[in-house]
Structure 1
Amino acid sequence: MALDHESFDLLLASVQRFIADRLVPAEDEVETRDEVPSDIVDDMKAMGLFGLSIPEEYGGIGLSMAQECAVAYELGRTSLAFRSVFGTNVGIGSQGILMDGTEAQKREILPRVASGDLIMSFALTEPDAGSDAASLKTRGQRVQDESGSHYVLSGTKRFITNAPRAGAFTLMARTDGDGPSGISAFIVSADLPGLSLGKPDKKMGQRGTKTCDVILDQVRVPADSIIGGVPGQGFKTAMKVLDRGRLHVSALACGVAQRVLEESIAYARDRRQFGRPIGEFQLIQAMLADSQAELYAGWSMAQDCARRYDAKPAGQIDPDVSMRASCAKMFCTEMVGRVADRGVQIHGGAGYMNETKVERFYRDVRLLRLYEGTTQIQQIIIGRELIRA
C-alpha cells in the first residue's frame, strides 16, 4: 500500500502549502480559543487528510508508513492541535479495523472515516490501566435474548483523544478471564444508550486538542461489533496499531523539532546583545548544533524503521520492527523535549512568555513522551526483545 512517487510529491507539496498558508497563521487563534476553526477542519476533509493511511479501495489515499511519516513530519511544524483533529482517523482509531476487521466492517466504517464524516477514537487507557494495558477492567458480558447475541459493556476509559468529537470508538474490553488473551476489540457507536462522556480535560499544553473520559454503563453492542468477529484478539490488535502509531509520533516529534530549531535560528540572528547578534556567540551555536545533530539522528531512525515496517508482511507483528519502532519513539520524543528546552534557553526571558511560539511547543511536546506508550514502556519493549533475540 503506497501512493506512486509523483502523486505523493504533489500531495506533500499541497500539505506544505496548507500548513504555511492556513495552519501557521491560525496558531494564535487555536491557542486563544482552545478550538480548531471549523473551516480549517472542512479544508482538511477536502484534502483527504482524514484518510491518509486508509487504502484507496476504502476511500482513502493509501500512504505507506514511510509516506505517512513524511506527512507527519510536516504536520509537526505547526500546532499539534491541527493534526490531532484527524490523527485518530489516520492511526489508532481506524487501523485496528483495517488490520483485523472483517471485510463487512471495513466497507461499512472505513469510507466514512476516510472522508472525515466519522471520527473514530481509540479507547484503551483506563483509570487503573495505562501502561499496563493488559490489566484493563472494562467488562464485556455476552448475553443472548430475543433480539440476538449482544455484549453488555461497563467501565471507564480515560484521556481518550477526540472522544468529544467521536462518532464511534475502537474500544477494548475484557470478555474472558485475566491477562491479554481475555481482551476483545469492539466497534462502539458513540450514540448508544449508556455511553456518556466526562468533562473535557484541562491539559498542560496542546490547546485545541480534545480529550475526556468515556463512561460505559451497561452499553449493549451487537456481538458482530467485535473487530474481526473473534473474541480475545483485542490485545493483539492494539499492539499492531501501536507499532504504526509510534512511528507516526516519532516523525511528528521530528517535525516539531525542526520548527523549534527554525524559530531559534531566526531569533539568534535578530536578537542583539553586546553589540552583535547572539547567533555569533559560540555557546548559542553549540545549542543549535546539538539540536540539529539530534534531529538528524531521530529523523534517520524514523525513516529507517518506517521502511522496515513497509517491508514486513502487512498486518503482521515483526518483533524486530516493533523493537525499532520503540527505539524511534523513545529517542525522537525525548529528543524534541531537549530541542524545545534549548529553544526556550536561546530565547532567554522571551522564551518563557506565553506569546512566544517556543514556549507553546515546550509545553506541547511534553505529552509526546507519554502517549503511544511512555518512554519507560519503550525501554521495557526494547530490553525484552534484545534478551529474547
Structure 2
Amino acid sequence: MQKMDPEMLLMVLDTLGKLEKDKLPLDTKLDLDHTANFPMDLIRFMVGPEVGLHLIFVPEEYGGMGAGAEDIAILSEKMAKMDMAVATSFLAICLGMDPILVGATPAQKQKYLTKIAEEGMIVAYCVTEPEAGSNVQSLKTKAERILDSEGQIVAYKINGEKQFITNGRVADLYTVLADTPEGPSFFIVEAGTPGLIPGKHEDKHGIRASDTSPVTLQDLCVPAENLVGGVEGQGLKQANQVFGYTRLMVAAFGLGAGMAALERAVAYGKDRIQFGTRLVDKQGYTHKLLVPHIVELEAARAYIEKVAQRLDSNEEDLQVEGAVAKYFATEAGDAAANDGIQAFGGYGYMREYEVEKIKRDVKITTIYEGTSEILQNVISMFRMRESVRTKGRYYLDMADKLAGLPTDTGAHWVAASLRVLADAIQVARELKLTKSQHVMFLLSDIMTWGEVAAALCHKAAGHQGGKKWSAEFMKAAARVFARDTVELAARNASKILRGCDPVAPNAERILAQLPTAEYQTGLMKDLDLVTAELVR
C-alpha cells in the first residue's frame, strides 16, 4: 500500500492545526453544536484546492496523496481531537469511496476517483436502512433490471429507504447498496439524479454539526455502467473488504476524542486549586480519573499502530483486527470522555468547557461502523474459528511470543491470561457453551484485552523513549494494563468455567495458571510513574 512522504504528513497535520485555530475555534464549534448547522463553507474549504484534505483517501494515480493506513490513523486521530462532527463528514467521504476503490472497474476508478480528487466532491455511503442496520443482509432496497429490446441490461430502477446517511443532504456523489437479482450490489449515483431524495436533517445527541439524514430512492434510474465492478452480487464482499481499514479509522476517532477529553482534564487539574493543592497533586483525581484512561488510550494506540502497519504491508483479511481496534478504542475513548466531565466537576456539565460535547460526540463511535455488540459477536465468532483451525494454537502461539519479552513489560502476565483464554475456548466448545451469546461476549472481551495488551507489551519492549513518553512510562503503562488484563481474564473465565451449567471439571486447574497476588506488587509505583509524566 502507498504511504505519504513523512514531510507531507507533517504538512497536513500542520494544516489541520492552523485550520482549527483560524476557522474552528471553540466558540464556532459550540455554536455549530448548538444550532446543529452543517458547516458547508468549512467542508468545501477543506476539500477545495487550498487544502485538498480529501486527497489523503485518493491513490496517487488518480490525483491523490496516496496515504497509507498508518497515515490515515494519525490524521483521523487529529481530526477527531479537532471536532468529531467534521471528522465524521470525512469518514463518510472515505466510506463512500471505498466500494469504488476495492470493487470498481478500471474505467470507473479513472472516472470517479479522478473526479473526486479534482472537484473535491463530498461523498455519501448509502447502506444503512430502517430495518437493516448492523444486519446488512436484511437489505430491502431493490434494484430492478431495465432491459433494451434485445434483452440487454441498460439500467437499473432502484427503490428503497436509507437511514442515518452521513452527508445525505450535502453529498455530490452517493454509493448506494441495493439488492439485484444476483444479490446486494453497489451503484454510483450523482447528486441531482431524479428519484434520489434526501430527507430532513436528524436532530442528534452528538456530532450535531455533521449532516445526517434519510435518503429515499424512488424509481431511481441508474445506468448499468454505474454498477460497481460491472457484476451483480459483489456488494457485501466489497463492504467486508474494507472493514479492517474503515473500522481502524473509527478506532482512531475514539482515541482522538478520548485524548481530547483527557488533555483538557489534565490542563484543568493543573490550574484548579482545592484544599490548598492542585487537583493533579491528588491521587483521587489522577489515579481514578486520569491514569486508567491514558493507559487504555495508549494501549489502543499500540494496537491501532500494529494493525495499520500490517495493512500497509498489504496484509489482507484483517476484518477481525479492525473489529478489535474499534471495539476497544471507542469504548476507551467514551470512558475517558465520561470521566473528563467528572474531572471538571460542575464545570464539566457546562457547554463552554467542551468536555460534555466531546462525551456526546464520541458516543457515536461505539455505534456507527458496527456497534460494540456486533463487534463482540464478530471477534468471538471468528477468533473461535481460528482457534479451531489452529487446534488451539492461535492464542498459545501469541502467549509464547510474549513469554520471550522482558518481564518489566508485564508480558508474562498477559501470556498467562492468553493461555487461560485458550483453555476456556476449548472448554466452551466441549460443553457447548458457545450457544450462549453471553459466554461468547465474555470470551470476546478476554480476546480483545489480551490482543491489545500484547500489542502494548511489544511496543513497550522496543520503545526507546520519544518526544511524548519515556521508555519507563511505556513499560509502567504496559504493566498497569497487563494487570487489568489478568483481572478481566480471571473474572470472565471464572464466569464461564464456574458459572455455567455444567461447571467445568477442570476449572480450578485452568484458573490456577493466572498469577496470584504477586502480580500486584509495584502497582502504586507504576501508577505514580504514569501520573508524573502525564501531568508534568
TM-score range, shorter chain: over 0.9
Match of residue 311 from structure 2: 309
Match of residue 384 from structure 1: 381
For the pair 1:57 / 2:61, whether they are aligned, the reply is yes
Match of residue 127 from structure 1: 130
Describe the superposition over 1:294-349 as per-residue Cα deviations: whole angstroms up to 9, x where unpaired: 11001111111111111125xxx41xx21111100000010011101110111111
1:152 counterpart (152, 157, 161): 157
Stretch deviating more after TM superposition (125-134 or 187-196): 187-196
For the pair 1:350 / 2:359, whether they are aligned, the reply is no
**C-alpha contact (below 8 Å) 1:154/1:217 kept by paired residues:** yes
Deviation at 1:293, TM superposition (A): 0.5
Q: Which amino acid aligns with 1:35?
A: N
2:89 counterpart (85, 89, 94): 85
Partner of 1:52: helix, strand, or coil?
A: helix
**C-alpha contact (below 8 Å) 2:85/2:361 kept by paired residues:** no
Cα gap change, 1:322 to 1:279, in 2 (>3 Å): same
Match of residue 172 from structure 2: 167
Give the structure-1-normalised TM-score. 0.93
Stretch deviating more after TM superposition (38-47 or 151-160): 38-47
Match of residue 141 from structure 1: 144
**C-alpha contact (below 8 Å) 1:151/1:222 kept by paired residues:** yes
Give the structure-2-normalised TM-score. 0.68
**C-alpha contact (below 8 Å) 2:30/2:351 kept by paired residues:** no
- Partner Cα separation in structure 2 for residue 335 and residue 106 of structure 1: 37
Partner of 2:218: helix, strand, or coil?
A: strand
- Structure with max Cα Rg: 2
- Partner Cα separation in structure 1 for residue 330 and residue 118 of structure 2: 30
- Partner Cα separation in structure 1 for residue 40 and residue 137 of structure 2: 37
Match of residue 70 from structure 1: 74
Match of residue 31 from structure 1: 33
Describe the superposition over 1:38-74 as per-residue Cα deviations: whole angstroms up to 9, x where unpaired: 4433431221211212112212111000111111111
**C-alpha contact (below 8 Å) 1:142/1:150 kept by paired residues:** yes
- Partner Cα separation in structure 2 for residue 64 and residue 312 of structure 1: 10
Q: Which amino acid aligns with 1:163?
A: G
Partner of 2:58: helix, strand, or coil?
A: coil
Mind listing any 5+ residue stretches in structure 2 that lack a counterpart? Answer: 387-536
- Partner Cα separation in structure 2 for residue 144 and residue 345 of structure 1: 62
Partner of 1:158: helix, strand, or coil?
A: strand
Deviation at 1:291, TM superposition (A): 1.2
Q: Which amino acid aligns with 1:297?
A: A
Describe the superposition over 1:176-223 as per-residue Cα deviations: whole angstroms up to 9, x where unpaired: 26xxxx111111223122221221111001121011111011111111
**Alignment map for 1:1-389 (pairs within 5 Å):** 1-25=2-26, 26-45=28-47, 46-89=50-93, 91-115=94-118, 117-145=120-148, 149-176=154-181, 182-286=183-287, 287-312=289-314, 317-318=316-317, 321-389=318-386
**C-alpha contact (below 8 Å) 1:301/1:328 kept by paired residues:** yes
**C-alpha contact (below 8 Å) 1:50/1:116 kept by paired residues:** no
- Partner Cα separation in structure 2 for residue 256 and residue 338 of structure 1: 10
- Partner Cα separation in structure 2 for residue 20 and residue 294 of structure 1: 29
Stretch deviating more after TM superposition (202-211 or 3-12): 3-12
Deviation at 1:111, TM superposition (A): 2.3
Cα gap change, 1:148 to 1:185, in 2 (>3 Å): closer
- Partner Cα separation in structure 1 for residue 176 and residue 188 of structure 2: 6
Cα gap change, 1:30 to 1:202, in 2 (>3 Å): same
Deviation at 1:145, TM superposition (A): 3.1
Cα gap change, 1:39 to 1:186, in 2 (>3 Å): closer
Deviation at 1:272, TM superposition (A): 2.1
- Partner Cα separation in structure 2 for residue 299 and residue 116 of structure 1: 34
**C-alpha contact (below 8 Å) 1:24/1:78 kept by paired residues:** no
Cα gap change, 1:209 to 1:38, in 2 (>3 Å): closer
**C-alpha contact (below 8 Å) 1:52/1:114 kept by paired residues:** no
**C-alpha contact (below 8 Å) 2:253/2:365 kept by paired residues:** no
**C-alpha contact (below 8 Å) 1:81/1:206 kept by paired residues:** yes
Q: Percent identity?
A: 35
- Partner Cα separation in structure 2 for residue 131 and residue 28 of structure 1: 31
- Partner Cα separation in structure 1 for residue 184 and residue 63 of structure 2: 30
Partner of 1:166: helix, strand, or coil?
A: coil
- Partner Cα separation in structure 2 for residue 347 and residue 93 of structure 1: 38
**Bigger relative contact order, structure 1 or 2, given CA contacts below 8 A and separation 6+?**
1
- Partner Cα separation in structure 2 for residue 6 and residue 145 of structure 1: 54
Match of residue 518 from structure 2: none
The alignment of Structure 1 onto Structure 2 pairs a total of residues equal to 379
- Partner Cα separation in structure 2 for residue 283 and residue 55 of structure 1: 49
**C-alpha contact (below 8 Å) 1:23/1:82 kept by paired residues:** no
- RMSD between aligned alpha carbons? 1.8
- Partner Cα separation in structure 1 for residue 141 and residue 123 of structure 2: 19
**C-alpha contact (below 8 Å) 2:70/2:308 kept by paired residues:** yes
Partner of 1:47: helix, strand, or coil?
A: coil
Partner of 2:351: helix, strand, or coil?
A: coil
Q: Give the structure with the higher percent helix.
A: 2
Partner of 1:92: helix, strand, or coil?
A: helix
Describe the superposition over 1:59-92 as per-residue Cα deviations: whole angstroms up to 9, x where unpaired: 2111000111111111111221222333322x21
Mind listing any 5+ residue stretches in structure 1 that lack a counterpart? Answer: none
Q: Which amino acid aligns with 1:31?
A: D
Match of residue 454 from structure 2: none
Q: Which amino acid aligns with 1:322?
A: Q
Cα gap change, 1:385 to 1:207, in 2 (>3 Å): same
Q: Which amino acid aligns with 2:161?
A: T
**C-alpha contact (below 8 Å) 2:147/2:155 kept by paired residues:** yes
